[in-house]
């Protein structure tokens, strides 16, 4: 089965009634967990971005406390899992300020891990890459926000 283009879907959705749209959205949300999470974000959390960021930070904190620090292999696996989840939340928001803030927070938490991440090449490279992505997101923001985020960024050296 070939998927229709976004333009074709948009035209077809414009022809549907409100109840048909509701049924389509409910069917879509039942199909995959990511669709349901995105729909929940758009309906309930998109209006208050600061609260959304705060909730994500709380979740990241709890995930970082669950990291198995016995060896670097388990640390890498868990850190990658946390990063995958964080990237999904960033995709939902599509806001560069949110992306910058969450990536900086992730880098701060990663840097604070003990044993230190600079003793492991994979973790230090992951840290550097996320820091670069945060810098890129900061570069697209307003100058006042850039200044605030750049102060945080300067404190994140390995």
Quick check: 158 pLDDT over 70? no
Residue 1 maps to a domain: no
Residue 83 maps to a domain: yes
Residue 23 maps to a domain: no
Report the 3 state secondary structure along 89-152.
HHHHHCCHHHHHHHHHHHHHHHHCCCCCHHHCHHHHHHHHHHHHHHHHHHHCCCHHHHHHHHHH
For 13-56, the pLDDT digits (tens) are 999 999 999 999 899 889 889 999 999 999 999 999 999 999 99
For 77-128, the pLDDT digits (tens) are 999 999 999 999 999 999 999 999 999 999 999 999 989 999 999 999 999 9
Quick check: 157 pLDDT over 80? no
Residue 127 maps to a domain: yes
Residue 84 maps to a domain: yes
Range 134-142 average pLDDT: 93
Residue 14 maps to a domain: no
Residue 2 maps to a domain: no
CB half-sphere exposure, 41, CA atoms < 13 A? 20
Count how many domains the chain has: 1
* Domain interval for residue 101: 47-154
Quick check: 136 pLDDT over 90? yes
> Band of the pLDDT at 75, cuts 50, 70, 90?
very high
Residues of the chain above pLDDT 70, percent: 99
Residue 136 maps to a domain: yes
Specify the pLDDT at position 145.
Answer: 85
Q: Please, which residues have CB within 8 angstroms of residue 13's CB and are 6 or more apart in sequence?
A: 21, 24
């Amino acid at each position: 089965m070939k998927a229709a283009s976004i333009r074709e879907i948009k035209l077809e959705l414009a022809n549907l009634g409100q109840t048909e749209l509701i049924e389509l959205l409910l069917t879509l949300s039942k199909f995959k967990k990511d669709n349901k999470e995105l729909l929940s974000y758009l309906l309930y959390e998109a209006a208050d971005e600061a609260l959304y960021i705060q909730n994500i930070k709380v979740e990241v904190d709890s995930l970082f406390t669950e990291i198995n620090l016995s060896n670097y292999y388990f640390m890498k696996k868990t850190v990658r899992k946390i990063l995958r989840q964080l990237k999904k939340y960033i995709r939902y928001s599509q806001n560069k300020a949110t992306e910058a803030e969450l990536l900086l927070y992730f880098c701060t938490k990663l840097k604070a891990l003990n044993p230190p991440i600079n003793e492991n090449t994979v973790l230090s490279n992951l840290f550097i890459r996320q820091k670069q992505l945060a810098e890129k997101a900061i570069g697209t923001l307003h100058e006042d926000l850039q200044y605030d985020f750049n102060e945080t960024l300067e404190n994140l050296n390995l």
